[in-house]
């Protein structure tokens, strides 16, 4: 076992000297969930809690918590954080929390990401306690980290927190004596929505495309993560984040034009194993029929492992065109990628 870095040779707690370490870009992502009731989830989603604006308040609290980590955790270093993001999702009876922290410096930001999740979760508890005082903050854990001499680290699958009840009355599949690749096939309808928008990432504009996609995918029976919002210059990091758990589908919006900052197609091509050019072209043709400038979209589509990745333009109209093209294709496409589907010509 490795020695504990925060303990000196006499067994006393110490603050690690990081002055000899080089400055690198460091990113950490953490997650957790507030287990509550279906009633509370519905009230929060409808913004109808006695304490209004629950998610916005919890998001601000999480960001503030990350910035104060060194004051709360005695042996943490003070860091100049360049970015903190806090996002929420929903299951039938829980609110999921995911936070990412980024800096450029000599030490990591794991504790900042974890603190953001914990403080956001505690704030959620404070906001819902009038309706559900028994709500429980669960599973605060580190998911991934980047940077430093160890590079990329990802939480082992066997240690991932699992305590979310099934959302249907169907029995869960028996995974005993089943190969890992077969287990992954049980859920072929997991999706991530990714938004490339520097303005939305900085909080200077409101994204109107991601929520539309998330709602549409939910109506089609997908479990949806996101929208995840990343600045155009960091869309490659966003794609890595979106693909982290091997979802069946990733749909991005934005960053597909000819602007010098539009980098979504290049970042997507870097992760694709195979392209689906017909899908991207069908989306372009549908948009061009109504709006000639849609021909300028450089969006691509393809397969990253067993995940389908599709780029859509960042406009509401472009997203609607993409949904119209994708809806009749998705079931057959995902079945093919999973190893099924009908290939016979009739």
Residues contacting residue 180 through CB under 8 Å, at least 6 positions apart: none
Calculate the alpha carbon distances from 277 to 66, 301, 310 in Å. Answer: 42, 6, 10
Burial class (CB in 10 A: 0-12, 13-18, 19+), 222: buried
Based on the residue annotation, tell me whether 126 is a catalytic residue of this protein: yes
Asked if residues 166 and 173 have their Cβ atoms less than 8 Å apart, the reply is no
Burial class (CB in 10 A: 0-12, 13-18, 19+), 78: exposed
User: Residue 65 phi/psi, 5° resolution?
Assistant: -60, -40
Catalytic residue among 8, 47, 93, 126: 126
In terms of DSSP bridges, do strands 249-253 and 190-196 run parallel, antiparallel, or are they unpaired?
A: parallel
**Angstrom distance (rounded) from CA 141 to CA 117:** 9
Residue 247 CB coordination number (10 Å): 24
DSSP 91-138: -SSEEEEEEEEEEEESS--HHHHHHHHHHHHHHHHHHHTTT-TT-EEE
**Angstrom distance (rounded) from CA 125 to CA 242:** 27
Q: Which residues are catalytic?
A: 126
């Amino acid at each position: 076992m490795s020695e504990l870095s925060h303990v000196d040779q006499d067994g006393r707690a110490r603050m690690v000297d990081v002055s000899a370490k080089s400055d690198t870009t460091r990113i950490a992502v953490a997650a957790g969930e507030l287990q509550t009731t279906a009633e509370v989830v519905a009230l929060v989603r409808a913004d109808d809690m006695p304490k209004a604006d629950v998610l916005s308040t919890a998001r601000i609290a999480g960001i503030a918590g990350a910035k104060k980590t060194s004051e709360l955790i005695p042996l943490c270093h003070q860091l100049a954080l360049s970015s903190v993001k806090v996002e929420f999702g929903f299951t039938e009876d829980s609110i999921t929390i995911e936070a990412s922290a980024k800096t450029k410096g000599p030490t990591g930001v794991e504790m900042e990401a974890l603190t953001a999740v914990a403080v956001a979760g505690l704030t959620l508890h404070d906001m819902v306690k009038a309706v559900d005082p028994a709500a429980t903050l669960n599973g605060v854990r580190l998911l991934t980290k980047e940077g430093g001499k160890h590079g990329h680290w990802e939480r082992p699958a066997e240690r991932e927190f699992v305590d979310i009840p099934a959302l249907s009355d169907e029995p869960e599949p028996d995974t005993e004596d089943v190969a890992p690749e077969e287990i992954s096939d049980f859920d072929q309808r997991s999706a991530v929505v990714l938004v490339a928008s520097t303005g939305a990432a900085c909080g200077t504009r409101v994204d109107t495309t991601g929520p539309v996609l998330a709602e549409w995918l939910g109506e089609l029976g997908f479990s949806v993560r996101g929208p995840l919002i990343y600045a155009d210059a960091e869309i490659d990091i966003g794609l890595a984040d979106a693909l982290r758990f091997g979802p069946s589908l990733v749909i991005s919006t934005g960053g597909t034009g000819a602007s010098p900052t539009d980098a979504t197609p290049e970042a997507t091509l870097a992760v694709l194993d195979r392209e689906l050019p017909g899908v991207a072209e069908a989306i372009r043709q549908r948009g061009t029929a109504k709006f000639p400038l849609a021909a300028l979209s450089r969006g691509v589509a393809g397969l990253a492992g067993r995940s389908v990745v599709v780029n859509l333009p960042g406009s509401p109209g472009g997203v609607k065109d993409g949904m119209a093209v994708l809806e009749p294709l998705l079931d057959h496409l995902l079945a093919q990628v999973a190893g099924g589907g009908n290939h016979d010509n009739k």
